[in-house]
Amino acid sequence: MFELNPTKQCVEVELAGSGDILTLYYRAPTNAERLARHNELVKREAGAKKTKIVSYTFPISVKYGSKLCTGFETGVLALDGKMISSDPAAEDYCAEWKGLLEKACPDAFVVVDSIAFRAAKLPGADEGGIEYVEDDELGPDPSEPSTPTSTGAEA
């Protein structure tokens, strides 16, 4: 079921350093935010015939993922050995949680960005991906110079 008027959306992120699963809550982006993000990723110069696409999108994804992130499930993030919360009503509330998370694990916000800004996709679109194989499975390296073969016209 896809809720058309969700009060809280969430995504689970595995933290590589600890293996913990962090549940982040986020809101849907507004159309204005969608447009602003797109305009940061795709540059158009006045009078130019080219459209330039930003190749290093990480900072943009962190920025918008952080902006959309509204909180996290308590019980995973700690500061100085004490669990913290993103809930202002909680006793262990930490007002700086977003900045601290961005500094320690900006990839978490990239995950939020990638889910929130791609709420729909074609069925099976994620089935491709990348497969890592051993060199010998790929055949000869095309970047190595080839050895000339005999043409039959030898001296």
DSSP assignments along 96-152, one per residue: THHHHHHHH-THHHHHHHHHHT-----TTTTS-------GGGS-S-TTSPPPPPP-S
Residue ranges in the chain whose pLDDT is less than 70:
1, 125-155
> Does the residue 25 lie in any domain?
yes
Containing structural domain, residue 84: 9-121
Query: Which pTM was predicted?
Result: 0.73
> Does the residue 142 lie in any domain?
no
> Does the residue 149 lie in any domain?
no
pLDDT given at position 128: 59
> Does the residue 48 lie in any domain?
yes
pLDDT given at position 124: 73
